[in-house]
Amino acid sequence: EVQLLESGGALVQPGGSLRLSCAASGFTFSSYTMHWVRQAPGKGLEWLSALSGTSGGTFYADSVKGRFTISRDNSKNTLYLQMNTLRAEDTAVYYCAKRGGSQEFDYWGQGTLVTVSS
Partner 1 sequence: QTVVTQEPSFSVSPGGTVTLTCGLRAGSVSTTYYASWYQQTPGQAPRTLMYNTNTRSSGVPDRFSGSILGNKAALTITGAQADDESDYYCVLYMGSGIWVFGGGTKLTVL
The dihedral over CA atoms of 28, 65, 68, 108, expressed in degrees to the nearest 10, equals: -40
Minimum CB–partner distance for residue 75 and partner 1 (Å): 24
Which residue number, 17 or 25, has a Cβ lying nearer to partner 1? Answer: 25
- Residue 3, phi then psi, degrees to nearest 5: -135, 140
| Chain residues that interact with partner 1, rule: CB under 8 A | 35, 37, 44-47, 50, 52, 57, 59, 61-62, 95, 100, 102-111
Which residue number, 7 or 17, has a Cβ lying nearer to partner 1? Answer: 7
Minimum CB–partner distance for residue 118 and partner 1 (Å): 26
Which residue number, 73 or 106, has a Cβ lying nearer to partner 1? Answer: 106
Minimum CB–partner distance for residue 18 and partner 1 (Å): 20
Distance CA 117, CA 14 (A): 6
Which residue number, 16 or 60, has a Cβ lying nearer to partner 1? Answer: 60
Q: Which helix (H) or strand (E) holds 95?
A: strand 92-99
Judge whether 94 and 38 are in contact, CB under 8 Å: yes
Minimum CB–partner distance for residue 35 and partner 1 (Å): 7
Judge whether 21 and 8 are in contact, CB under 8 Å: yes
